[in-house]
A = this chain, B = another copy of it.
Amino acid sequence: MKNHGCERGIRGVRHPSLQDGWDLAPNDPTGPRFRIEDIYPCVDCGRYPIKRIAGESVEIWADIFREGHDVLAAALIWRNESSPDWLREPMTLFGNDRWHGRFTPPEPGRYVFAIEAWTDQYATWRKEYLLKQEAGQDVSLVAREGHELILDLTPQTREPRLVVEAAARKFAETEDAAVLLDEVLAAAIEKTDNRPDLTRSHLMPLLAERERARAGAWYEMIPRSQGRIPGKHGTFQDCIARVPEIADLGFDVLYFTPIHPIGHTNRKGKNNSLRAEPGDPGSFYAMGSEAGGHDAVHPELGTLDDFRRLVDVCRQHNMEIALDFAVQCSPDHPWLKEHPEWFKTRPDGSIKYAENPPKKYEDIVNPDFTCADGIALWASLRDVILFWCKQGVRIFRVDNPHTKPFPFWEWLMREVRTHYPDAIFLSEAFTRPKVMKALAKIGFSQSYTYFTWRTTKHELQEYLSEITSHPERDYFRPNFFPTTPDILPIELQAGETWKFKSRAALAALLSSNYGIYNGFELIEHEPLPGREEYINSDKYEIKVRDWNKPGNIKDFLKRLNTIRRQNPALLQTSGLRFLQVDNDNVTGFLKESVHKDNAVACAISFAGYPQEFWLHFGAEQIGPEKEQHGVRLIENLVTGERHMLEWGGIRLRIDPSDPVLIFRCYP
């Protein structure tokens, strides 16, 4: 079949844009013949990348069709964004014009994929020939058409070309259609690239990250509070001393609040008071002093060498460091002298401190992202991240990203990942849901969430259903913190141990990324009166704690972390199904690993007194795609007890001393 469109090569499906609207829709006979629609997974039509883990298969689906009844073929093409060469995987028809293919990005990085579709002219001819032959119709002309078709083929490689040419010659001599139906010929033709109506979809982006982006247990530490002598500023050395203990509890990420020099001007005192007393250390979020800015360490913590030693010690304990990245500066930050043009001047010549009227943050000023020298400001902030990457840090918790322009973050993370594809970014935005999701779309690996304020069974199930559905599950990875230095939720202010355990279990078992803030394990719970904040917060003062204080829940946390590590089902979030529980004080859910080789069921209590309930597995299936089964046997991962399910469910009891049950599930 001749098609003059073939000189044109690949014809893409155009998407509308400002310049290229629908009035420029395909309008000539060589326009893209195929529809390639509803590509899944996909975030905002491909404007933002889907997120996956390197080394794991990415399943792609699309509707692919054109007019008529010809035999079609399709391929999934993909490449690392930096590579010029496409790799190809076949796609197969699943049914109802829906096609399926998969590929595996081998390493962290940015990838693009697209779908190509074309008419399989030879298969179409073959189908016609066989249908007519079967119906007893005269097929001699059809055979000659098949001959014309293979004469038009021009395989690029030698071997298929020889096969095709030989078949063409042989048919010319014998007029024997069997020559054209030969399987060897069919295989040779499959290797030709005679695809005059090839249509390529638009490109779809994918961000492949390493496993830590999907799963990690975080321990948030205020480094200056890790000392052992009351009143004395903790050091990196003190932090190093704590690493074995924290590693033993099973944490993967040791996350430090800012470690940079702290300003003096308008330094905050205890409990965020406006005037610091002599000796008050100030808020570590007021970054920058004569000792340096974002790429310096606070002298009282130690030296950069000390910090690098800390990074090494963590690595030896299979933990890694996460650093806090906050854009704001103390009025004493070197940038104010070096780059006054980055800061907006008020009519009296002063620089405006940060505020969210009527709230004031007198000890910090924010650079002005709309300043004329914005590009230099962006580059300097990027260089801060690159500096800490060079010190061995790969995880950054970004403070308040929702108050800086989205294009800045999108650019910054792209830049950093170009050099360090294994960099991970956590978005600390507790703000409007659309904004939090937009930050995830533009590249944050993980996001803080509303978990902190979702305290009932119904609220949590609704919230988890939202963030584990498509498209959220394809770009938004939650990281659940029961408390943070800024937030002590009302829920925990009574200091009930069972509730701390319940909240930790909900965080650790519902979300594959979760974290606690130091002191949580000690049931610290005293608020500023009437506020959801800690009293005497170590944001403004130096604390020394007894990390083995009686009543701590370290054993409980260790058990959670151990079970997480042993059960890949718990190391991902989106494979979550809530189970039916006939008790509003208990939530039950089932999680399954990406490879479908591990399934775990959990029941967690929301009450401070014993709960009895039925946990129903209903029709939920576990196991690999082609051999799924209902759950029949469950094994308590703490006691080792095994239970056969009765009628798909089981009667259970939870005691507040240990408000969580975790079971391995078997078919």
Contacts and interface: CB of A to CB of B under 8 A. Distances in A.
Interface of A: 1-5, 10, 12-23, 25-33, 35, 37, 44-49, 63, 65-69, 81, 96-98, 110, 112, 114, 127-128, 131-132, 134-135, 137, 141, 144-145, 147-148, 197, 200, 202-205, 344, 346-348, 350, 356-358, 369-370, 372, 374-375, 377-378, 402-408, 410-411, 414, 432-435, 438
Nearest to A136: B358
A434 B63 contact: yes
Contact of A411 (B27, B45, B81): B27
A352 to B, nearest CB: 9
A58 to B, nearest CB: 16
A202 B46 CA distance: 14
A10 B25 CA distance: 23
Nearest to A135: B358
Nearest to A143: B347
9 contacts: A10-B18, A15-B17, A15-B45, A29-B370, A37-B438, A65-B438, A67-B406, A144-B346, A144-B347
Nearest to A346: B141
Given A1-B370, A28-B407, A97-B432, 8 more contacts: A14-B17, A16-B45, A16-B205, A18-B114, A35-B406, A67-B402, A69-B356, A97-B435
A290 B378 CA distance: 75
A267 B646 CA distance: 71
B29 A408 contact: yes
A411 B447 CA distance: 46
The listed residue with most B CB atoms (<10 A of its CB), out of A12, A44, A433, is A44
A407 B32 contact: yes
B203 A21 contact: yes
A48 B346 CA distance: 49
Contacts of A31: 405, 407, 411
Contacts of A35: 406, 434, 438
Nearest to A97: B434
A20 B22 contact: no
B3 A370 contact: yes
Contact of A432 (B96, B205, B346): B96
Protomer copies: 2
A18 B348 contact: no
B141 A347 contact: yes
Q: Which of A10, A134, A141 has the most CB of B within 10 A?
A: A141
B29 A375 contact: yes
A487 to B, nearest CB: 19
Contacts of A414: 25, 27
Nearest to A433: B96
B16 A46 contact: yes
The 6 closest A-B pairs by CB, nearest first: A12-B18, A29-B374, A135-B358, A45-B45, A31-B407, A144-B347
A110 B22 CA distance: 10
Contacts of A202: 16-18, 21
Contact of A372 (B4, B69, B350): B4
Contacts of A128: 357
A44 B346 CA distance: 47
Contacts of A37: 44, 434, 438
A435 B65 contact: yes
A471 to B, nearest CB: 10
B21 A405 contact: no
Contacts of A377: 29
A550 to B, nearest CB: 45
A122 to B, nearest CB: 16
B135 A357 contact: yes
A357 B377 CA distance: 68
A187 B202 CA distance: 45
